[in-house]
Amino acid sequence: MDFNQSRFPGFARLSHAALALLAVVLIAGCGSIKGEKDPTAGWSAERLYQDARTEISAGNWKDARTRLEAVEARYPFGGYAQQSLIDQAYVNWKDDEPEQALAAIDRFQQQYPNHAGTDYMLYLKGLITFTPPSASFTKFTRQDPSERDPKGLRESYESFNELIKRYPDSRYTADAKKRVTWLVGTIAQNEVHVAQYYYERGAYVAAINRAQTVITDFQGVPIAEKALYIIYLSYDKLGLTELRDDAKRVLDQNFPNSKFYEQGLDEPGGSYWNPINWF
């Protein structure tokens, strides 16, 4: 059906008014957009990157991130794009944005698997998962790091371990080795926490399995003494006297006069495993 504007003159006037208003809005919008022009438009990759480095030196993480992302977006090929990803990971880590930092590292590893900076990115990835933001509060809460979810600890261990194996001569390897020593002990201690949890709730088979993991997978860690004691107690509760005696014999051979016979499972005082005190 055809629409005859002559039959509705008021509608025609309304249409003209609406079009005029739309034109005004568009002109105002263009003026607004023009007023918000990116001050870095036309900058070279070098200028963007050097400006980002200046912001990093000043600790202006937000502005540094904006410049680095601009380098990656506008100049995706070449050395500045590669370096911008490395610096994005660092800036996001310093700005308490671990997920964004890890995302930058993942992009870097996928795009530049053989880059000379790979050892640093592995080291940084280990640091990010080694000390999540909540870890900075452990000195106030007195929470043992081994009592937290071990997922981040294991991811940190994997990153540092890969660094040690692939880049034994890297400047970051010596520190990574110290952190791996701490991580092994802490992950083992987490297993013992779980074993004790099961034991205290009467799940003796589960307690034995978790404690046995410490003996087989984390040889030489101090917490193995407690793991063996939990195994000994659990077999005793199950009435498996022969296995109980075997566990006791191993415990006595490796830890003569074990303190756990006298004090039980509860540890007096705090733990020395807090990474804040180590690094």
Domain shared by 55 and 140, yes or no = no
Domain shared by 265 and 163, yes or no = yes
Domain shared by 180 and 265, yes or no = yes
Yes or no: say if 161 and 119 are a contact pair by the CB < 8 Å rule: no
pLDDT at 40: 87
Query: Can you give the residue range of the structural domain that contains 93?
Result: 44-114
Asked if residue 3 belongs to a domain, the reply is no
How distant is the alpha carbon of residue 243 from its chain centre?
41
Of 81, 97, 114, the residue that ends a domain is: 114
Asked if residue 28 belongs to a domain, the reply is no
pLDDT at 268: 65
Domain shared by 166 and 277, yes or no = yes
Of 93, 114, 135, the residue that ends a domain is: 114
Domain shared by 176 and 209, yes or no = yes
Domain CATH for 80: 1.25.40.10
Of 52, 86, 114, the residue that ends a domain is: 114
Domain shared by 161 and 259, yes or no = yes
Asked if residue 157 belongs to a domain, the reply is yes
pLDDT tens, the chain, 279 aa long: 454 555 445 545 545 555 444 444 444 455 444 556 888 888 999 999 999 999 999 999 999 999 999 999 999 988 999 999 999 999 999 999 999 999 999 999 999 999 999 999 999 999 998 864 444 434 433 444 545 567 889 999 999 999 999 999 999 999 999 999 999 999 999 999 999 999 999 999 999 999 999 999 998 899 999 999 999 999 999 999 999 999 999 999 999 999 999 999 987 654 444 444 444
Find, among 38, 104, 116, 33, the residue nearest to 72 by Cα.
104
Total structural domains within the chain: 2
Domain shared by 53 and 191, yes or no = no
Domain shared by 185 and 240, yes or no = yes
- Residue 149's Cβ-side half-sphere holds a number of Cα atoms within 13 Å equal to 6
Domain shared by 204 and 88, yes or no = no
pTM above 0.85, yes or no: no
Tokens of 226: 């407690």
29: which residues sit within 8 A by CB, 6+ positions away? Answer: none
- 123/117 Cα distance (integer angstroms): 10
Domain shared by 64 and 127, yes or no = no
Domain shared by 128 and 235, yes or no = yes
Handedness of CA 25, 27, 31, 37 (dihedral sign): positive
Asked if residue 277 belongs to a domain, the reply is yes
Calculate the alpha carbon distances from 81 to 67, 69, 117 in Å. 11, 9, 13
Find, among 55, 53, 101, 112, the residue nearest to 78 by Cα.
112
pLDDT at 4: 52
Domain shared by 164 and 232, yes or no = yes
Yes or no: say if 190 and 183 are a contact pair by the CB < 8 Å rule: no
pLDDT at 128: 94
